[in-house]
Amino acid sequence: MNPGLLIELTTGYWRFKAMAAAVDIGLFAAVDRRGAATSAELAADLGLQPRPLRVLLSSCTALGFLTKDGDRYQNAPVAAEYLVPGKEQYFGGFVRYNDMVGYPAWGRLQEALRTNAPTTSHASFMTSDPVVLDNFWDALFAISSFTAMALADAYDFGRHQNLLDLGGGMGPFPVVLCERYPDLRATVYDLPHVAEKARAKATDRISVHAGDFLADEEFPAGHDVILLSMILHDWDEQTSREILGKCYAALPSGGAIIICELVLDDDETGPQLAALMGLNMLVETGGGQNWTGAEYREWLTGAGFRDITTIPMLSAGANAAIVAYK
């Protein structure tokens, strides 16, 4: 036995910080503008001295973000598609948000474990810091778009007419689902400052409703399916039960609720990403964690829902869609 796995885990942050630094200084954007560039050209574009640029280029090439032909660098497909600003699937907001907020918060994980309190100075979705806010919603839109594609494959929304996306952010699920299902209409329901951003995605089939699903006594009516994607992991059990109770009240008879999450196994031994997301909720929220399928089923039953099924999914943002009916 050798400590290879331990070494890989211990130095894992090297890989993340190399990628985050390259995104932050605009390396992939600079390479994209030139198509292919020498280190001297990139040094002039980025204002970096030869030594730091050399080690960054070497690292990004070794990690698979760049390719090198002679003395010229090009973006590898993963960087060209996901790490160049302006591209449709730009993932830089997710990288930058985690670099600005998630990484420092995880650096104080032991404090969170000892105090049962978050280590960030704000709730990410409530912050007034425009830079953090923009990166947070860009991050969520990017990762949720892929989850929405997986959900569109896993569940037939053709049986529904009107979707309410609870805490829907900038609307990635309505955008994807309405494109896939031409007869579906959708409403994004989120806080006023988030709703303002979501209006950029509004169409004749996608509307926006500003509100607070914690404070509002009733949810917008007229929808036959309610989606909660990566919502309940933000809150404690009592708050989650209250949210589900409001969902039940807002749905017509036969209406559906869909919980889209990284769901823990009932014995709480995995999957790995769901378990680690629970630690992320510890450092970022006051009461959130990732819950088991059994817990979701119990809460849904307690709220009055029936015919509960779990549909496996393959996505970074969710491994299951739990569906129930009124």
Q: Read off the pLDDT of residues 82-132 as tens digits, 9 standing for 90 and up.
A: 999 998 888 898 899 889 889 999 999 999 999 999 998 655 455 556 666
Shared-domain flag, residues 13 and 103: no
Kindly list the catalytic residues. Answer: 233
Of 84, 119, 150, the last residue of a domain is 84
- The per-residue pLDDT of the chain, averaged, comes to 93
The pLDDT tens digits for 3-62 are 888 999 999 999 999 999 999 999 999 999 999 999 999 999 999 999 999 999 999 999
Dist. CA 88–CA 74, nearest whole Å: 19
Domain boundary, last residue among 59, 84, 109: 84
Residue-level pLDDT at 49: 97
DSSP string, 120-133: SSS-TTT---HHHH
CA atoms within 13 A on the CB side of 271: 15
Q: Average pLDDT in the 231-254 region?
A: 98
91 is a domain residue: no
Say if CB 39 and CB 20 are below 8 A apart: no
Report pLDDT for 132: 63
Domain that holds residue 235: 96-325
The per-residue pLDDT for 3 is 87
Q: How many other C-beta atoms can be found within 10 angstroms of the C-beta atom of residue 107? A: 12
Q: Are residues 72 and 101 both part of a single domain?
A: no
- Same domain for 74 and 161, yes or no, is no
pTM of the full structure: 0.91
Q: How far apart are CA 185 and CA 176, in angstroms?
A: 11
